[in-house]
A and B are shown apart, each in its own frame.
Chain A
Amino acid sequence: MRDELRVAIESDADVVSARREARALAAELNFTSTDVTLLATAISEVARNITTYAGEGEIVLSVVHRDDRAGIRVEARDEGPGIRDVERAMEDGYSTGTGMGLGLPGARRLTDEFSIDSRPGRGTTVVMVKWGRPA
């Protein structure tokens, strides 16, 4: 199994590619179809944030293990303008763009672990983990 998979995010077609790669990876692990869909939806949200706000970036997918469970770790990073107020960006309905402000808070609800690191002018990195069922 590949340890790490990088998907460059530069256009809206790459958003679909990132989802597809995550699905392929999840198929090798013990994921229910619902969990795969939740993960794919979360990836879609963070990937779209990259194309919308930063223009380009990348998503790195990797398989992680804890006890008897395997999970997929998603790291979405860009060197875009960053988020001025991360706390507010995590609130439902807050958006500085034209979206609905569901992206980040929604992605957090769709995954098991979620963290975000962003500084104005320095870009944004979102890390999410979705765990599969115990082996």
Chain B
Amino acid sequence: MAVPILKQGEVLIASIQAALTDTDVIRLQEDIMEQVGRFRSRGIVVDVTALDVMDSFVSRSLRSIAHMARLRGAETVLVGIQPEVAFAMVQLGMSMEDVNTALDLEEGMAFLQERAKEREPREG
């Protein structure tokens, strides 16, 4: 099932609705990369609230999205990791140290706004 991606100003919001197959994850990567270019997005929120499992493949793929987006000038924040899922990721040994995370969509949007403010003086 494809993940819907909403555009809100300079931010793309990818809201994962159900468990992802590997094919879905790869498609999400491609869709986000394409839309970052098309909409000149500066921020991406990936909402994983609906994911009941984040195994090594999904975690690595989401981390890749963040790295690829950064190369294209957009900052990614991962929101909504469930407490049980966080526990499992740590046990698994999956580190997401280099990926921005926030509790929920609201916090994620606030984080990206802060980042956008930091950017302004240099651009002005």
Contact = CB atoms under 8 A, between A and B. Distances in A.
A106 B93 contact: yes
Interface of A: 11-13, 15-16, 19-20, 23, 33-34, 36-38, 40-41, 44-45, 48, 92, 99-100, 102-103, 105-106, 109-110
Interface string B4-35: 00000000000000011111000000000000
Contacts of B53: 19, 37, 40-41, 44
Contact of A44 (B23, B55, B82, B87): B55
B74 to A, nearest CB: 24
14 contacts: A19-B53, A34-B88, A36-B84, A38-B84, A40-B88, A41-B55, A41-B89, A45-B56, A99-B56, A100-B60, A102-B56, A102-B94, A109-B93, A110-B88
Contacts of B19: 16, 19-20
B39 interface: no
Contacts of B55: 41, 44-45, 48
Chain B contact residues: helix, strand, loop or mixed: helix
B3 interface: no
Chain A contact residues: helix, strand, loop or mixed: helix
Interface in B39-96: 52-57, 60, 82-85, 87-89, 91-94
B30 to A, nearest CB: 16
B97 to A, nearest CB: 14
B92 A102 contact: yes
Given A38-B88, A102-B94, 20 more contacts: A12-B21, A16-B20, A19-B19, A23-B52, A34-B88, A37-B53, A37-B82, A37-B84, A37-B85, A37-B87, A41-B91, A44-B57, A48-B55, A92-B93, A99-B56, A103-B56, A106-B92, A109-B91, A110-B88, A110-B91
